[in-house]
Structure 1
Amino acid sequence: MPPASTSGPAEPRKPARPRTLPPSPAKTVTIPYLGIEAPVTALRLDAGRRLPAPPDDKPKLVGWYAEGPAPGGPGTAVVVGHKDTRTGPAVFAALDVIKPGRLVEVLRADGRTAVYTVDAVKSYEKDRFPSKKVYGHRGRPELRLITCGGTYDRRKGYASNVVVFAHLTATREPARGP
C-alpha cells in the first residue's frame, strides 16, 4: 500500500489572464448579443477637451478614442456611438439592455481580436458623470462603450450617458490562410 499523501487536494487553478496586445487601431466592434457589427473611426478630444460622438450622418459608425489605449492593450479603451439620430435608431440604440457576461469583440488593424466580457451597465447623469470611474486605469485591459440615455430634451439632448464596463477575457490571432 502506498504511503498516504501529506498534501491536500490540488488547489484549483486561476484562469490565465489573456495576453495584453501591442498598440493597434480598432477597426470593427461586434456585440453578438445585440446583432451589432460596426465599423470604427478614430476620434480625438474636441476644443473643450470632450470626446465627440461619430458624425451624425453615419449612425452605424462607432468611434474609438485614438489618443487613449488600444483595444486589448493595457488601460481602458473607450468606444462611443449614437443611440439615435434624426434618421432613427443608431448603432448603440439597445446598448442599455446588454447584460453582464455578454461578449464584446474588437477587431484591430493588426488582425487580432480583443474579446471583452461585460461586467456592468450603468447610467449617469451628464452633469454628474464620474470621469475617473469611467475612464480611469484599473490595472488590467478594460473597455468602455458609451452612448446617450435618460430623458431627451430637444434643446439640451439626452440627460444621461449609458456606460458598459467590460474587461479583456481573451485575444484571438488572425486566421491563417491555407
Structure 2
Amino acid sequence: MAPGNPTSTARGPFTPAVPFLACVMAVGAVLLINGGHDEKPPPQPSAAQAFSTSADPTHPAVRPLPAADPVRLRIEAIGVNAPMTRVGLDAAGALRTPPLGKPDHAGWYGDGAVPGSAGTAVATGHVDTPGGRPGVFYNLGALTEGATIEISRADRRTAVFSVRAVELYDRKKFPSEKVYGSSGRPELRLITCGGGYTKRTGYLGNVVVYATLTAVR
C-alpha cells in the first residue's frame, strides 16, 4: 500500500506513478470512505464500458493547447459542475484530493500535464465522505463512451474531452503505466474510489475514466 514517487516515462511528461489511490480512512488518505454508502453504493462501471478492441482514440486529432490552469470541470451526463483546485502528492507519494471540507471540488495534479495540452492530465475527486454525502465523482462509474467532459481554463478557453472508456481496477493491481502514461496527445484521466468496500479497509479499487481532447471553444 506504499505508493511510489512521480516518475517520467518515455511517452510523456511527469505524472504520478502510484500503484493505486488509497481509499482508506487514515491521516493523509487521498480518497475517503462513506460510512453510510451501503444503502446506496456509487455506480460501478461494467465490462461494456471498458476499452473494446483498441485503446487508440478514433476521434480526429485536435491541436494541443498551451498551458493554462484549469478552473472548472463540467460533466453534463452525470450532473457535475465543479471548481478545480491544484493538488499534489502527500508525504508517501500518493496523489491527494481536494480537502475533506470541499467534497464538491475536483483536484488537478498540478505537477503533471495541463488539461488540453499535450500529455495526460489527471484529475481526482472524492466519491463520498465519511458522513454519507456524495462527492463530486460519486457517479463517475456511470459514464459511457462518447460522454463529454468540459474543462474551463484560465485563458478563457474550454477544453472538450470525449470519454473513450471507464474501467475499474483492484488497487493491488492498478495499471499505472496504462493510466498515467502518455501517447503525446492531449488526454485526460478522472480517478476516484470504487469496487468492493469493507468498513476496515474502505474501497478496494479505483474507477478510471479515459478521455481524449476532441474540441476547443
Tell me the TM-score normalized by structure 1.
0.86
Structure 1 residue 86: deviation in Å?
2.1
1:32-53 CA deviation, whole Å, 9 max, x = no partner?
Answer: 1111100011001111111112
1:36 pairs with one of 57, 64, 80: 80
What runs of 5+ residues in structure 1 fail to find an aligned partner? Answer: 1-13, 173-178
Q: Which has the higher contact order (CA 8 A, sep 6+)?
A: 2
Determine the structure 2 residue equivalent to 1:91: 136
Question: In structure 1, what is the Cα distance between the partners aligned to 2:206 and 2:191?
Answer: 7
Query: Which runs of 5 or more residues in structure 2 are unaligned?
Result: 1-57
Aligned to 2:198: 153
CA distance in 2, matches of 1:16, 1:119: 13
Give RMSD over aligned pairs. 1.4
For these two proteins, the number of residue pairs brought into alignment is: 159
In the alignment, which residue of structure 2 is the partner of 1:58?
A: 102
Q: What TM-score comes out, normalization by structure 2 length?
A: 0.71
Q: 2:178 aligns with which of 128, 133, 137?
A: 133
Q: What code does the residue aligned with 2:127 have?
A: K
Equivalent position to 2:166, from 121, 129, 132: 121
Aligned residue number for residue 168 of structure 1: 213
Which consecutive aligned stretches of 4+ in structure 1 deviate over 4 angstroms post-superposition? none
2:165–2:210 Cα contact (<8 Å) kept: yes
The 1-side partners of 2:194 and 2:123 are apart by: 15
Deviations 1:65-115 (A, max 9, x none): 000000100000000011100231111111001000010001111111110
Q: Which residue of 2 aligns with 1:18?
A: 62
The structure carrying a bigger strand percent of its residues is: 1
Shift of 1:30: 0.3
* Aligned-partner SS, 1:89: coil
What's the % identity of the aligned pairs? 50
Distance in 2 between residues matched to 1:78 and 1:15, nearest whole Å: 20
